[in-house]
Amino acid sequence: MNQSEREAAKRRAGESAADVVEDGTVVGLGSGSTAAHAIRALGREVDAGLDVEGVPTSFQAREIAIDEGIPLTTLDEADVDVAIDGADQFADADLVKGGGGAHAREKIVDAAADRLLVVADPTKEVDVLDHPVPLEVLPDARATVADAVRRLGGQPELRRADRKSGPVVSDNGNLVLDCDFGAMPDPSGLAADLSALPGVVEHGLFVGFADEVHVGTETDVTVFEP
Amino acid sequence: MNQSEREAAKRRAGESAADVVEDGTVVGLGSGSTAAHAIRALGREVDAGLDVEGVPTSFQAREIAIDEGIPLTTLDEADVDVAIDGADQFADADLVKGGGGAHAREKIVDAAADRLLVVADPTKEVDVLDHPVPLEVLPDARATVADAVRRLGGQPELRRADRKSGPVVSDNGNLVLDCDFGAMPDPSGLAADLSALPGVVEHGLFVGFADEVHVGTETDVTVFEP
């Protein structure tokens, strides 16, 4: 699958999930390039008369939604009926997210939704998750969390910024450690261990989150419920 | 135990723990009024020649340590040998902390220490923890975490500020929900549930943290290893 085929697959996945959204609902708007296709498709449906409100999962999602004219609301005001979000990798209902460093807010919105529709291209699907897991950590805990990750069998690496000196700083003012655990046959156990580490604001394992997965292919979309 | 007896008990507990600190070590400096007594006692020992470095658990602890002339270091530079910290309530090795809203940083330092010495007056000791548990939460997650706490059987209350309008904002820029679960016979299970909630930065349950407890009494100090 070359770059343009992959882009087309992402678009098909995003549009397929946007089609599921019903009139009068509140929609969690996901982050990443595939979810962006879903937000844009939703924007076209809003132009055509669909009545929805969006809850963005990130700064990026919010900007696209505003650009598309999707009315926005917040978790303080509304319950989320359905969220559409991408993943850096997925195996059945389990995801790794956080390539954009926004996984804390993404997890808050995705967990709040009655249903999560995951949108992806086929390169994201695996049998066993093995993508490095991003941890958002309080700056004070950078060293102690890195030590704890090594004790759990992972290799932590501080995410460095490209357009500023020093580390990436999250929208919440924290640091990101990308932690390579190799293959993760027990994501649920690892998720619990990571959640319990003092100073970990949120980890990128979304275990059992996907209610429906829309995978774009070169010519079509495969939809399944894990 | 009246107020002045309680104050004397706190002082005895703090001084007793400070006495344990050995030359050439790195000491976690706890928060709260009883830990403050320990930091001041340590300051007097430093004046008398004790060679230690301190890692403060909070803004308050840092201010007292600077005032006392205790050399400071950070978790990025040093391993903590022993921490001395107070508790809002304790049962054996389990603590509830966070009355000062600094429990995230406190837990990072206390967990990093080889040994944690808890200092308290007798009014803090119970058989079964039942003190409301403070949760530091990302502002975005205030409503969803409150809902989740209710599902776990707790009553959440947003901590309001006294010297500013609106809520208390933590040193990390987050909100605090004080969550009353009544008696907590299984703090370990509740701690795991709270850690797993998206948007919870840190909760105030410190399960199995205390290596040694120094309880001041009206005339003496009781020391035990839970």
pLDDT tens track for B110-167 = 999 999 999 999 999 999 999 999 999 999 999 999 999 999 999 999 999 999 999 9
Confidence of residue A15 (pLDDT cuts 50, 70, 90): very high
In a domain, A222, yes or no: no
**DSSP string for A117-181:** EEEE-GGGB-SS--SPEEEEE-GGGHHHHHHHHHHTT-EEEEPBPSSSSSB---TTS-EEEEEE-
Residues B90 and B51 in one domain: yes
Task: Work out the minimum CA distance from B163 to partner chain A, whole angstroms.
Answer: 24
Please judge whether B191 and A195 are an interchain contact, meaning their C-beta atoms are less than 8 angstroms apart: no
Residues A48 and A113 in one domain: yes
Residues A46 and A108 in one domain: yes
Q: Is A106 one of the annotated active-site residues of the chain?
A: yes
What CATH number is given to the structural domain containing B180?
3.30.70.260
Please judge whether B199 and A138 are an interchain contact, meaning their C-beta atoms are less than 8 angstroms apart: no
Residues A175 and A81 in one domain: no
Query: What are the tens digits of pLDDT across the range A70-81?
Result: 999 999 999 999
Residues A193 and A212 in one domain: no
Residue ranges making up the domain that contains A187: 133-201
Task: Work out the minimum CA distance from A131 to partner chain B, whole angstroms.
Answer: 20
Query: Is B201 within 8 Å of chain A by CB?
Result: yes
Please judge whether B107 and A192 are an interchain contact, meaning their C-beta atoms are less than 8 angstroms apart: no
In a domain, A224, yes or no: no
Residue B38 has pLDDT above 90, yes or no: yes
Query: What are the tens digits of pLDDT across the range A186-212?
Result: 999 999 999 999 999 999 999 999 999
What are φ and ψ of residue B176, in 5° steps? -125, 125
The whole-number pLDDT of residue B1 equals 82
In a domain, B222, yes or no: no
Residues A94 and A197 in one domain: no
Mean pLDDT of chain B: 97
Residues B147 and B105 in one domain: no
Mean pLDDT of chain A: 97
The whole-number pLDDT of residue B87 equals 98
CA dihedral A204, A206, A207, A208 (to 10 degrees): -170
Residues A101 and A213 in one domain: yes
Sort out which chain A residues have CB atoms less than 8 A from B59's CB and list them.
Answer: none
What does the pLDDT average to over B28-34?
96
Confidence of residue A170 (pLDDT cuts 50, 70, 90): very high
The whole-number pLDDT of residue B218 equals 86
Q: What is the pTM of this model?
A: 0.95
Query: What are the tens digits of pLDDT across the range B65-121?
Result: 999 999 999 999 999 999 999 999 999 999 999 999 999 999 999 999 999 999 999
Segment 84-113 of chain A within 8 Å of chain B by CB: 104-105, 107-108, 110-112
The residue behind tokens 């997650």 is B141
Confidence of residue A1 (pLDDT cuts 50, 70, 90): confident
In a domain, B111, yes or no: yes
Residues B63 and B160 in one domain: no
In a domain, A51, yes or no: yes
Sort out which chain B residues have CB atoms less than 8 A from A76's CB and list them.
Answer: 142-143
For residue A74, the chain B residue with the least C-alpha distance is: B140
The whole-number pLDDT of residue B30 equals 97
Residues A165 and A95 in one domain: no
Residue A68: closest CA among A34, A41, A105:
A41
Residues A81 and A169 in one domain: no
Residue A189: closest CA among A137, A152, A141, A155:
A152
The whole-number pLDDT of residue A92 equals 97
**Separation in Å, CA B29 to CA A46, A114, B51:** 56, 44, 15
Tally the domains of chain B.
2
The whole-number pLDDT of residue A218 equals 86
What CATH number is given to the structural domain containing B57?
3.40.50.1360
Please judge whether B104 and A138 are an interchain contact, meaning their C-beta atoms are less than 8 angstroms apart: yes
The whole-number pLDDT of residue A59 equals 94
> Choosing from B45, B53, B106, B202, which is the catalytic residue?
B106
> Are the C-beta atoms of B34 and B119 separated by less than 8 Å?
yes
For residue B57, the chain A residue with the least C-alpha distance is: A140
> Choosing from A45, A68, A106, A202, which is the catalytic residue?
A106
Spatial separation of the C-alpha atoms in residues A95 and A199, rounded to whole Å? 22
**A and B: number of Cβ contacts within 8 A:** 70
In a domain, B225, yes or no: no
Residue A33: closest CA among A11, A50, A18:
A11
In a domain, B224, yes or no: no
Residues A9 and A115 in one domain: yes
In a domain, B120, yes or no: yes
Tokens of B133: 């548990």
Confidence of residue A43 (pLDDT cuts 50, 70, 90): very high
pLDDT above 90 as % of chain A: 98
Residue A167 has pLDDT above 90, yes or no: yes
Sort out which chain A residues have CB atoms less than 8 A from B144's CB and list them.
Answer: 75, 108, 111-112
